[in-house]
Structure 1
Amino acid sequence: MLASIDLNMLLVLEALLEHRNVTHAARHLGLSQPSISRALTRLRGIFNDDLLVRGSGCMVPTPYAERLAQMLPTVLGPISGMLNRSFVQGEWRSTMTMAMPDHQALLLLPPLLPVLRERAPNLDIVTDSLLAGALRRLEQGDIDLAVGQIGEAPQGYFRRSLYTDRLACLLRSDHPALAQEWTIDSFASLRHAAIASDTKDGFGQVYDELVKLDLQGRDPVLVSNVLAAALAIVVTDLVLVAPHRVAAKIAAFLPLAIVDPPVELTSYEAVLIWHERCHRDPDHRWLRQEIAAAAAGQSRQQARGESTDASSRQ
């Protein structure tokens, strides 16, 4: 029985029951009057009922047609929802897991979460600080998005640059090195704090580069995350090399100084990466756009801050 029913017939029936006039139903659907008349004949055969009969001013529904009129919205509504692939504010009910190192969460979550609370209040966000195996986990659906310093996206993955940042040094504000000339030698004499990384991306790349430049006389002090490193720097002579915007965020709350490294280091690029299985999903696309907007807002904020700092030094 179901195989013989054309979904378009149900739309015609819905229009006929609403307008109770073949001409008006045809106009509503953008079809010709003869085609609606033929469809009504087919519907009468499908349901084995007259459905609509002539009345004094319009067609009137049979009792069975009245029951169908009550059922059609619950039938056609979900089907319309299946086909309407667009983000609807406030209706997204899901849990999204994002692989995001803690320093990225420090930057992106403060501007992102208020937007999600307003426009997608039923969306739960779970962050996972581990980037190891991110591509495999994206493919398998263990995570939905990954944010960090990630290389080229292989086939089947998409990659969007969020921001590029220079690297900076964080030291305690009364560090003895700040009272001296800031040179490669003074920088090399310091012991570094290093973020224990599960991957060669991100902070792992930073310290690999420092090792190649032979700027570290001793092994770095490994700490679990960037906030732990910052708290250690406040009370020690350690130095942390971090993306400038991360350093600025931390220095706003702790007595820390930010100085440029006395040697040229590769810039830091943070990217957003996802698997093609989510690429066309409207909800995922909306979230990706909001993450990019949060990163862009951080870029503008940093630019204003640097402009203010430059003005104050003049």
Structure 2
Amino acid sequence: MNQIHFNQLSKIDLNLLRVLVAIHRERQLARAATELSLTPSAISHALRRLRDIFDDELFVRSGRYLRPTALCEKLAPELNEVLARMQGLLSRGVNFSPATTQRVFRIGMPEAIEAELYPRLYRQFQHAAPNAKFESLAVPHAQIGDYLLNRKADVVVDVAIAARAPVMQRPLLKEPFAVLSREQDKNQLTQARYLASKHIAVSTRARGSVLEDLLLKELGVERDILARVQSYQTAAQLVSQTGALLTLPERIAKQLVTQYNLRNWPMPIDVPATRLQLYWHSAYQHDPALSWLLAEFDGIASDSF
């Protein structure tokens, strides 16, 4: 592996390292330039300097994209982490006032829970920080750490996943499941009827089992899935049209009953309540703005774990 001599360190500044990390993430010079608010020519010049410093091509052309070399593939993730921790360290000394801040806070959450949870979050946050902006965005499970590290999201709300340090997490909410059927449905929803029925599954992921099916499989139970959609609103419409059943968190079920003329049943199988976790990155945990945001989430939790 190429060695960087001490006299080369004087050639390195943080802006160059930010360029390397941005190109590694975006795989295109133009997109890296947009991310860093620089011109493409400035990015090209920075890349030439980086290649000279590291005595390595760092990126090679592969069609429309740039493919990182072995050295770059090793350097970029570690540099990204170092830059994030430096940014987090510097933010400790920045004054933060919720009453006056105009910061944009980005909150990752699945589309399936946004309609129920985001309005509650917005009301609470906007009351404490009236000049701030709050944005909701979808964050793929596999990319939660990347979104948090690169501040594409300040926090993420999602179901429990296998996340390890430097991604931090804590319980946020838990809620029992309910089942929706057509409004004119008068038959009692027993376990036998539940298992014999067709079901609508909700997930923003293209494949893989949804949460309730994972919990049911632990009990040795499998459902017959009629359709898989991305939102509970679409699923509720399908329930009213097809007679299939929809399993979902109780709070969301109560919202959809009137809107789509459905009937709400208790879950006939004893499965654990759905649990939402709050995720953030340890590099920024001492940022006063993030500390405030995490504290505000304490007011959202309606159940203790």
Same fold (TM over 0.5): yes
Opposite residue 157 of structure 1, the aligned amino acid is V
Q: Please say if 1:148 is aligned against 2:158.
A: yes
Identity of aligned residues (%): 19
| Per-residue Cα deviation, 1:24-55 (whole angstroms, up to 9, x for no partner) | xxxxxxxxxxxxxxxxxxxxxxxxxxxxxxxx
In the other structure, the counterpart of 2:145 is: 135
Matches within 5 A, 1:190-269: 190-198=197-205, 204-210=210-216, 213-216=220-223, 218-269=224-275
Asked whether the equivalents of residues 152 and 159 of structure 1 are also in contact (C-alpha less than 8 Å), the reply is no
Superposed CA RMSD: 2.8
More helix by share: 1
Question: By how many angstroms is 1:130 displaced?
Answer: 3.3
Relative to 1, partners in 2 of residues 1:137 and 1:199: Cα closer, same or farther, differing over 3 Å? farther
Q: Please say if 1:271 is aligned against 2:277.
A: yes
State the TM-score, normalizing by the size of structure 2.
Answer: 0.61
Unaligned runs of 5+ in 1: 1-81, 301-314
SS at match of 1:174: coil
Opposite residue 187 of structure 2, the aligned amino acid is Q
Q: Which one of 190, 196, 200 corresponds to residue 183 of structure 1?
A: 190
Report how many aligned residue pairs link the two structures: 213
Relative to 1, partners in 2 of residues 1:236 and 1:121: Cα closer, same or farther, differing over 3 Å? same
Q: Matched residues in 2 for 1:118 and 1:214: separation?
A: 45
Q: Matched residues in 1 for 2:293 and 2:182: separation?
A: 37
Relative to 1, partners in 2 of residues 1:185 and 1:115: Cα closer, same or farther, differing over 3 Å? closer
Q: Which one of 158, 174, 196 corresponds to residue 168 of structure 2?
A: 158
- The list of structure 1 runs, each at least 4 consecutive aligned residues, that deviate by more than 4 angstroms after superposition, is 82-86
Unaligned runs of 5+ in 2: 1-90
Q: Matched residues in 1 for 2:268 and 2:177: separation?
A: 11
Q: Which one of 116, 128, 144 corresponds to residue 119 of structure 1?
A: 128
CA radius of gyration, larger in: 1
Opposite residue 278 of structure 2, the aligned amino acid is L
Q: Matched residues in 1 for 2:192 and 2:136: separation?
A: 39
Relative to 1, partners in 2 of residues 1:114 and 1:208: Cα closer, same or farther, differing over 3 Å? closer
Relative to 1, partners in 2 of residues 1:84 and 1:91: Cα closer, same or farther, differing over 3 Å? farther
Asked whether the equivalents of residues 139 and 147 of structure 2 are also in contact (C-alpha less than 8 Å), the reply is no
Asked whether the equivalents of residues 187 and 215 of structure 1 are also in contact (C-alpha less than 8 Å), the reply is no
Q: Matched residues in 2 for 1:263 and 1:188: separation?
A: 10
| Per-residue Cα deviation, 1:265-300 (whole angstroms, up to 9, x for no partner) | 13211111100122111211212222331343xx59
Asked whether the equivalents of residues 199 and 227 of structure 2 are also in contact (C-alpha less than 8 Å), the reply is yes
Asked whether the equivalents of residues 109 and 158 of structure 2 are also in contact (C-alpha less than 8 Å), the reply is yes
Question: By how many angstroms is 1:86 displaced?
Answer: 5.2
In the other structure, the counterpart of 2:86 is: none
